[in-house]
């Protein structure tokens, strides 16, 4: 009777062990994760976004954002996707190309944005800093960094619960813990600039739907901008 019980329970034990190992390796998470992306190759993909659409356009394989006229007032303009997205990794290449008044000159990722709050992860070209702040204006993280105009930078934010980790060009610049806003939309923002370019926007997480343009990765050197007649480069 004892050997019979062992024979019956052994397959269950092996199955449990296998599933445990897969969970530890992250396999279960990966199979559930989805990716929403846009490499801005197709101008029609702008229809997938919401927000200040009149201030953004897709040209030459890039998203172009404009937030200011030659004269004040200066307003931030943004577009977004998603709604109640919570935990994910978001990244995008950002190029603050042409400033307006050199008061702000910002290109940024917007995340966990809702009617009451949210966060902004920005390149602040005028002050030569990389910053994270609440939509209400409170600065949560500010790191000095050389930011050149007409230069591409890869911004990446990893969000898990109240923990947020930020990097620029693969270099971690800081971490935060904040519970003010744990869900909301994800998007892109431009302020006090005649032109900010964005490329290779991507959000990946367990509850993110597979959707958007750019299922096949595009090499950086594979796009040419006819406006300035040169290839973009990632610092």
The helices-and-strands tally (H runs, E runs) of the chain is: 2, 18
**At 14, phi and psi to the nearest 5?**
-65, -40
For 157-173, b where at least 16 C-beta lie within 10 A, e where not — what string?
Answer: bbbeeeebebbbeeeeb
pLDDT average, residue stretch 83-91: 95
- Which range has highest mean pLDDT (28-42, 96-110, 179-193, 207-221)? 179-193
pLDDT band at 26 (very low <50, low <70, confident <90, very high): very low
SS (H, E, C) 142-172: EEECCCCCCCEEEEEEEEECCEEEEEECCEE
Placement of tokens 């809702």 in the chain:
114
Tokens representing residue 135 in the block: 């939509």
**Number of neighbours of residue 5 by Cβ within 10 angstroms:** 9
Q: Would you place residue 74 in the very low, low, confident or very high pLDDT band (cuts 50, 70, 90)?
A: low
Alpha carbons 196 and 194: distance in angstroms, whole number? 7
| Beta pairing class for 211-212 and 34-38 | parallel
CA atoms within 13 A on the CB side of 151: 11
State the average pLDDT for the chain.
Answer: 81
């Amino acid at each position: 009777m004892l050997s019979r019980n062992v024979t019956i329970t052994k397959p269950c034990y092996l199955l449990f062990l296998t599933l445990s190992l897969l969970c530890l390796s992250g396999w279960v998470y990966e199979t559930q994760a989805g990716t929403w992306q846009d490499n801005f190759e197709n101008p029609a993909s702008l229809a997938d976004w919401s927000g200040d659409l009149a201030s953004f356009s897709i040209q030459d394989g890039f998203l172009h954002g404009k937030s200011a006229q030659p004269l004040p007032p200066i307003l931030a303009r943004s577009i977004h996707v998603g709604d109640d997205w919570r935990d994910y990794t978001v990244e995008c290449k950002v190029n603050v190309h042409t400033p307006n008044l050199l008061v702000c000159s910002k290109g940024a990722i917007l995340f966990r944005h809702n009617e009451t709050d949210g966060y902004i992860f920005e390149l602040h070209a005028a002050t030569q800093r990389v910053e994270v702040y609440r939509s209400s204006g409170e600065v949560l993280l500010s790191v000095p960094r050389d930011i050149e105009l007409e230069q591409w930078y890869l911004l990446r934010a990893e969000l898990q619960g109240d923990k947020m980790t930020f990097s620029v060009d693969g270099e971690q610049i800081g971490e935060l813990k904040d519970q003010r806003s744990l869900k909301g939309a994800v998007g892109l923002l431009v302020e006090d600039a005649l032109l900010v370019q964005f490329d290779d926007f991507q959000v990946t997480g367990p509850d993110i739907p597979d959707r958007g343009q750019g299922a096949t990765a595009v090499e950086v050197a594979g796009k040419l901008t006819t406006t300035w007649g040169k290839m973009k480069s990632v610092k």
